[in-house]
Amino acid sequence: MSLGGVKNDKMKEKISKIREKMKSEAVKSHEALEAFRIAYLGTKGVMKQLFGDLKEVANEEKKEAGQLLNQLRMDLEAVYAEHKEKLEQTEDLGSNLDLSRPAEDVNIGSRHPLSLVRSEIIEIFSRIGYNVSEGPEIEDDWHNFSALNFPPEHPARDMQDTFFIEKGKEEIALRTHTSSVQVRVMENQKPPIRTISPGRVYRNEAISARAHCFFHQIEGLYIDKKVSFADLKQTLLYFAKEVFGEKAQIRLRPSYFPFTEPSAEVDVSCTICNSKGCNVCKYTGWLEILGCGMVDPNVLEASGIDSKVYSGFAFGMGVERIAQLKYKVNDLRLYSENDIRFLKQFTAG
C-alpha cells in the first residue's frame, strides 16, 4: 500500500517524535507519573488528539494509520506501567526498609516417609558395596515369572493376583515384585553382582488398612564365587541393626519362593516392646520384615550365569512395612492419600 498521503506522512512524523519524547521523560515522583499519564493518555492528551487527526487521513490509509496509533498507545501504556513499578520499588526500599525484620518462613514441605525410608535403605546397602538398579513397571512374563522359575500354574500368574495390561493376554503385566529387575541385571552384567532394586510393584488386592494394589519394594541380589547362606544372614543382621538400632536381632524361618532354595522369612526383634510382647508383634516379640534365600541355580542359568561357578543370595522387603515399623503407621492407605496433615509429620534426619 502506498504511504504517500500527506496527512499520513505527517502523522508518522508526529508519532516518531512522540516516541522519542516519551523515552526521554524523567518520571521521578508520583506527581510526575500522573503528569505523564495526563499528557499522553489523558482525555485531552496526545493520544486523544492523534486519534482525532485520524479523520483527516485518506480512507484507504486509515487502517494503517489506526494500527500505528494503537501500537503507540500500547507502548505508552507499557512505559507508564514501567515507571509506576520502578517508583513503587524504590519506595519499598526507601522508607519502609527494616533490615532487622525476621525473614518470612519459606514453606518447603517435607519428604514423603516412603522416600525417606527408601533413601535410608539405599544408603545402608551402598556402604557395603551395593549399587542401585531400576527397571520397567510394565513387565513381560519372562522377567516377572518364567526366568524366576515360576511354574506355569503358579497362583501369582492368576488374574486375581496380577494386573495384566490387555484382557486375555497373559504376556504383559504390571510387575508384581522388583525381582524382575534383578533378572535384567543378571542378563546384562557379569558377576560379581551386588545390587538393590527399589521400585513400585502392583498386586490385584482389595485396598484396606493392611493391603494395597500397589506398594514399594527393595530387593537385593549378591552373586559371586562362593557366596554362602552365612553371608546372607550376616548381611541381613547388619541391615536390621542399621535400621532398627544396635540391639536389633533377627531370626530366620524356613519358607518357600520359586526363585530361591533354600528360602527363609526374616523376623526382627520387636522394636516397639523390646520383644516383651505387644499388639504390633502380636505378643510374639518378633516382626516379619522380609523374604530371602539362595538364588535357585535354575534362575542363574536362565539368565546366562554358570551355576557351577557362581552362587548368590537374594532378599526382598516392602518399604511400607519398614516405614510402618519405624514410624508406627498402621494404615497403609495413608501413604498414598496425600493428606498434608499426615505427610508434614515427617522430616529428614
Which residues form the interface with ligand PHE (CB under 6 A)?
177, 179, 219, 257, 260, 291-293, 314-316
Residues 6+ apart with CB under 8 A from 263: 254, 255, 256, 257, 291, 292, 293
Decide whether 57 or 314 has the Cβ nearer to ligand PHE: 314
Decide whether 182 or 269 has the Cβ nearer to ligand PHE: 182
Closest residue (Cβ) to ligand PHE?
316
Placement of cell 551355576 in the chain:
307
Residues 6+ apart with CB under 8 A from 47: 40, 41, 69, 72, 73, 76
Decide whether 18 or 156 has the Cβ nearer to ligand PHE: 156
Shortest Å distance, C-beta 272 to ligand PHE: 23
Shortest Å distance, C-beta 208 to ligand PHE: 18
Joined together, the cell numbers standing for residue 277 give: 510382647
Decide whether 83 or 177 has the Cβ nearer to ligand PHE: 177
Shortest Å distance, C-beta 176 to ligand PHE: 7
Number of Cβ within a 10 Å radius of residue 76:
21
Give 294: exposed, middle or buried? Use CB within 10 Å, 0-12, 13-18, 19+: buried
Joined together, the cell numbers standing for residue 106 give: 519459606
Shortest Å distance, C-beta 203 to ligand PHE: 9
Shortest Å distance, C-beta 278 to ligand PHE: 25
Q: What is the DSSP letter of 67?
A: H
Decide whether 73 or 233 has the Cβ nearer to ligand PHE: 233
Shortest Å distance, C-beta 295 to ligand PHE: 8
Shortest Å distance, C-beta 101 to ligand PHE: 55
CB 1 within 8 Å of CB 64: yes
Shortest Å distance, C-beta 292 to ligand PHE: 5
Shortest Å distance, C-beta 247 to ligand PHE: 26
How many angstroms separate the first and last alpha carbons of the chain? 72
Decide whether 191 or 293 has the Cβ nearer to ligand PHE: 293
CA distances from 336 to 81, 134, 276, 303, 333 (A): 46, 21, 32, 35, 6
Decide whether 198 or 316 has the Cβ nearer to ligand PHE: 316
Decide whether 83 or 203 has the Cβ nearer to ligand PHE: 203
Joined together, the cell numbers standing for residue 163 give: 494386573
- E runs forming strands in 183-272: 193-202, 214-224, 250-257, 260-269
CB 47 within 8 Å of CB 76: yes
Decide whether 113 or 199 has the Cβ nearer to ligand PHE: 199
Beta bridge partners of 216: 200
CA distances from 4 to 9, 27, 54, 71, 248 (A): 7, 37, 15, 20, 94
Residue 143 to residue 133: CA distance in whole angstroms:
14
